[in-house]
Chains A and B, each alone.
Chain A
């Protein structure tokens, strides 16, 4: 079962929940797809297997001897990644989407493709939690788009058997969509504030668009007015609230220190039960 953990905004507790769920499972793969700021490894302290694998994308390589500066490549590039200066084409590789359009357009056969590293993928088993196998993607600093890295991470992860958890990047744009896509169930983590409610709605619109079965976990719940507004909203959109995690300063302190607090293990276990029920209902 592939379960993605997302949220409209950051800081709602995606990583916390992913770690709680992973620690409550006997054998699970955790994919840290928050590649701009991967954090799961800080809590799991895994023994990394061998060296990290470079993740690459294909970018055009322009043979300046063959290039006549005709501009055909630049004309078809809708991302403005190629400009013409004098008699040759210049590439701005950070704008390139690797579509291959320039190759097809070049009449001089002056364009080939080469690999460019955009990040790394490392994997390992957590020392304190041997049941958790962690795959971590790290975007190279200065690389604008995380999408190809997340895509390739998921390809690697999906070849593994058993239950897979995905800690997704925040937001509702392309990186988040790439991370949640194709999951069997998406858990949206939110908190009982107007910010949480606003961003939950955006995230829910995405899971609806992708037709993903979705449930909500309300983190930092304090039983007050904020809770009610999330409950009313979820009821109106017919989305189940899988669990409420109480607001706990002790929990926050342990988390700040880099521990997976044991405080809410029973909540994690109950979420797993609901996910399993969902799976048997789905098949």
Chain B
């Protein structure tokens, strides 16, 4: 089973739009949306939720008011300024470390598992989608990302599907690290802007740090042709293959507005470039790049799953 993770260094470069286009082109796959902070993939794929699961991670203190003597020990030990003599005064500051609970002389504080969000299995136009929603201002987005990937792998295994396409989170921090670790291929969707080039550098460092194969897709490549050329030269000097160049197109905007992928639009002007991108990925991952009619038929008949 191969796992393609689409990342970007920063947000808004077109990860979700490109992931959706790839989902449209790839014949047999499970989809995963690992942007758990601001998941959007369900909006372009017509997702209907089949299963909802609670995600628990981390801990939060529960205080037994009858046992608390308000001695103030917790206040002096809490490094995050979250508790004052047995009263959680700033819940958003609490990191759930349990120092208050473990050191309370009255044993008045218990640490309980915290509900940190939900994850879902949905049906979409392109197959099954695993996605999630992180609770507001909750940490552990990395853990939720790992959970989504784990469930996507489970589904791909049971349904004998050869590929997982993951719409990754932006950035290079905890969620991005969690989405990338152990992936078969990371595809960076980047823009030819000065910030895009800067962010690609940092993303390449991260991929290097985790020894992950990284390929590049330049989105909005006609926005600044000079920067695009410079980016390609830079990628080649670093040994990073450029799998696609997608010209600037307003169709992406209109597609997003109508809840469709850019390939489903009647006058899609980027079809050719997106197909080349997919073929490059498929040949790199040694996957069949085109759906044979037999495959389609089997998929529809749902026999050999």
Residues on A lying within 8 angstroms of B by beta carbon are 8-12, 15, 34, 36-37, 39, 42-43, 76, 78-79, 97-101, 104-105, 139, 141-146, 169-177, 181, 192-195, 198-199, 202, 205-206, 209-210, 222, 224-226, 249, 252-253, 255-258
Among candidates A37, A76, A209, A225, residue contacting B202 with C-beta atoms closer than 8 Å:
A37
A42 to chain B: which residues have CB within 8 Å?
Answer: 194-195, 198
Whole-angstrom distance between the alpha carbons of A181 and B137 in the complex? Answer: 11
Contact B92 A11 (CB under 8 A): no
In the complex, which of the residues B16, B95, B195, B227 contacts A97, with contact meaning CB atoms closer than 8 Å? B95
- Flag if A76 contacts B98 (CB, 8 Å): yes
A97 touches B97 (CB 8 A): yes
Q: A11-B10, A173-B139 are in contact. Are A258 and B134 (CB under 8 A)?
A: no
Q: Is B270 an interface residue (CB 8 A)?
A: no
Residue of B nearest to A210 (CB): B92
B166 interface residue (CB < 8 Å to A): no
User: Is there contact, CB below 8 Å, between B43 and A174?
Assistant: no
Contact pick for A195, options B58, B136, B170, B256, CB 8 Å: B256
- Determine the residue in chain B with the shortest Cβ distance to A181: B92
Instruction: Given the known inter-chain contacts A11-B13, A101-B98, please indicate yes or no for A170 contacting B136, CB distance below 8 A.
Output: no
Jot down 20 A-B pairs with beta carbons below 8 A, ordered by A.
A10-B8, A12-B11, A15-B195, A76-B99, A78-B58, A78-B97, A78-B98, A97-B97, A141-B202, A141-B206, A143-B173, A144-B177, A171-B37, A172-B37, A172-B134, A193-B256, A224-B257, A252-B223, A255-B193, A257-B224
Partner of A174, one of B10, B138, B227: B138
Contacts of A76 in B (CB 8 A): 98-99, 102
Task: Tell me which residues across on chain B come within 8 A of A256, comparing CB atoms.
Answer: 191-194, 196, 223-224, 227
B interface, CB within 8 angstroms of A: 8-13, 16, 35, 37-38, 40, 43, 58-59, 77, 79-80, 92, 95-99, 102-103, 111, 134, 136-139, 141-142, 169-177, 191-196, 198-199, 202, 205-206, 209, 223-224, 227, 248, 253, 256-257, 259
Q: B12 to A9, Cβ gap below 8 A?
A: yes
CB-defined contacts of A258 to chain B, threshold 8 Å = 193-194
Closest to A97 in B: B95
Residues of A near B176 (CB, < 8 A) are 36
Report A-chain residues with C-beta under 8 Å of the C-beta of B223.
252-253, 256
Q: Which residues of B contact A12 (CB under 8 A)?
A: 11-12
Cβ-defined contact, B77 with A100, below 8 A:
yes
Residues on A with beta carbons closer than 8 Å to the beta carbon of B102: 76, 101, 104-105
A173 touches B141 (CB 8 A): yes
Q: Is the CB of B92 within 8 A of A177?
A: yes
- Report yes or no: A78 in contact with B59, Cβ–Cβ below 8 A: yes
Are the CB atoms of B98 and A39 closer together than 8 Å? no
The 8 closest A-B pairs by CB, nearest first: A11-B12, A10-B11, A99-B97, A171-B37, A256-B193, A258-B194, A144-B174, A36-B171
* Residues B37 and A173 in contact, CB atoms below 8 Å apart: yes
Expressed in whole angstroms, the Cα–Cα distance for A171 and B58 within the complex equals: 20
A257 to B192, CA, bound (A): 9
Q: Which residues of A contact B253 (CB under 8 A)?
A: 193, 222
Q: Is A100's CB under 8 angstroms from B79's CB? A: yes
Contact B136 A206 (CB under 8 A): yes
A145 to B143, CA, bound (A): 13
Once the chains bind, are B227 and A195 in contact (CB under 8 Å)?
Answer: no
Q: Is the CB of B43 within 8 A of A9?
A: no
Q: Other than the known A105-B102, A193-B253, what 18 A-B pairs have Cβ atoms closer than 8 Å?
A: A9-B38, A11-B10, A11-B12, A15-B195, A37-B171, A39-B10, A76-B98, A78-B59, A78-B96, A99-B95, A145-B174, A173-B137, A174-B139, A177-B92, A177-B137, A192-B257, A195-B43, A256-B194
Residue of A nearest to B253 (CB): A193
Bound-state CA distance A199–B171 (Å) is 17
Partner of B111, one of A11, A78, A193: A78
Say yes or no: B224 contacts A198, CB within 8 Å. no
Docked-complex contact B136 and A36, CB < 8 angstroms: no
What is the CB-to-nearest-CB distance from B78 to chain A, in angstroms, rounded to a whole number? 8
Looking at the assembled complex, report how far the CB atom of A54 sits from the nearest CB atom of chain B, in whole angstroms.
18
* Interface pair B137/A142, CB less than 8 Å apart: no
- For residue A8, which residues in chain B have a CB less than 8 angstroms away from its CB? 37-38
**How distant is the Cα of A98 from the Cα of B192 in the complex, in angstroms?**
39
User: A145 CA to B43 CA in the complex, in Å?
Assistant: 29
A257 cross-chain contacts in B, Cβ below 8 A: 193-194, 224, 227
Taking the closest CB of chain B, its distance from the CB of A82, in whole angstroms, is 12
From B79, B172, B195, give the contact of A36 (CB < 8 A): B172
- Contact B171–A99 (Cβ < 8 Å): no
> Using Cβ atoms and an 8 Å threshold, which residues of chain A touch B171?
10, 36-37, 169-170
A143 to B177, CA, bound (A): 9
Q: B141 — which chain A residues lie within 8 A by C-beta?
A: 171, 173-174
CA distance A177 to B139 in the complex (A): 10
CA distance A192 to B258 in the complex (A): 12
Complex contact A142–B77 (CB within 8 A) = no
Partner of B173, one of A36, A206, A210, A226: A36
Q: How far is the CA of A255 from the CA of B176 in the complex (A)?
A: 26
Residues of A near B209 (CB, < 8 A) are: 141-142
